[in-house]
């Protein structure tokens, strides 16, 4: 019989809460960037030179909002799974669930990097046209 490693649930819960707050922040930030983009595109409406860039940012904001929503949903589903498992294993979780948590951490980190890169790209665009 193989030994099963466990990981305390409170560590996961704290990290999940941090991620959720981060996702909420990034979702609000995307709204702000979308509003700024709307302002800039309104100021330069007759100029075709910025249209491709405006469309690029509009599309990216939609994609990243969807990514945030999907990860937020997956975090909620995972939290339910962890809660059920923790009841069975005295507030600990299995290696399999820990691996799922690590995969969610990786997704969050990658999404965070993507959004930060998008923010910098969008800010550079705004500086150029404001």
Flag whether 118 is in a domain. Answer: yes
Residues 27-70 have pLDDT tens digits of: 999 999 999 999 988 887 556 788 899 999 999 999 999 999 99
Pair 64, 112: CB distance under 8 Å: no
Flag whether 2 is in a domain. Answer: no
Flag whether 1 is in a domain. Answer: no
The model carries a pTM of 0.87
The enclosing domain of 27 has a CATH number of 1.20.58
Flag whether 56 is in a domain. Answer: yes
What pLDDT, on the 0 to 100 scale, is given for residue 46?
A: 58
Instruction: Give how many domains the chain has, as a whole number.
Output: 1
Strand pairing class (7-8; 92-93): antiparallel
Flag whether 96 is in a domain. Answer: yes
**Computed over its alpha carbons, how large is the radius of gyration of the chain?**
20
Residue 86 structural domain: 7-129
What pLDDT, on the 0 to 100 scale, is given for residue 1?
A: 35
Residues 84-127 have pLDDT tens digits of: 888 887 767 788 888 999 999 999 999 999 999 999 999 999 99
Flag whether 102 is in a domain. Answer: yes
- SS3 (DSSP) at 76: helix
Residues counted in the chain: 130
Flag whether 50 is in a domain. Answer: yes
- Of 82 and 92, the structure prediction assigns the larger pLDDT to 82
């Amino acid at each position: 019989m193989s030994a099963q490693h466990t990981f305390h649930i409170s560590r996961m819960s704290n990290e999940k809460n941090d991620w959720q707050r981060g996702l909420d922040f990034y979702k609000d930030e995307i709204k702000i960037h979308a509003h700024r983009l709307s302002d800039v595109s309104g100021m330069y409406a007759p100029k075709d030179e910025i249209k491709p860039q405006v469309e690029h940012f509009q599309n990216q904001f939609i994609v990243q909002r969807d990514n945030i929503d999907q990860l937020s949903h997956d975090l909620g589903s995972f939290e339910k799974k962890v809660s059920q498992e923790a009841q069975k294993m005295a507030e600990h979780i299995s290696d399999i669930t820990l691996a799922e948590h690590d995969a969610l951490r990786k997704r969050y980190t990658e999404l965070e990097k993507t959004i930060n890169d998008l923010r910098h790209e969008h800010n550079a665009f705004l500086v150029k046209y404001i």
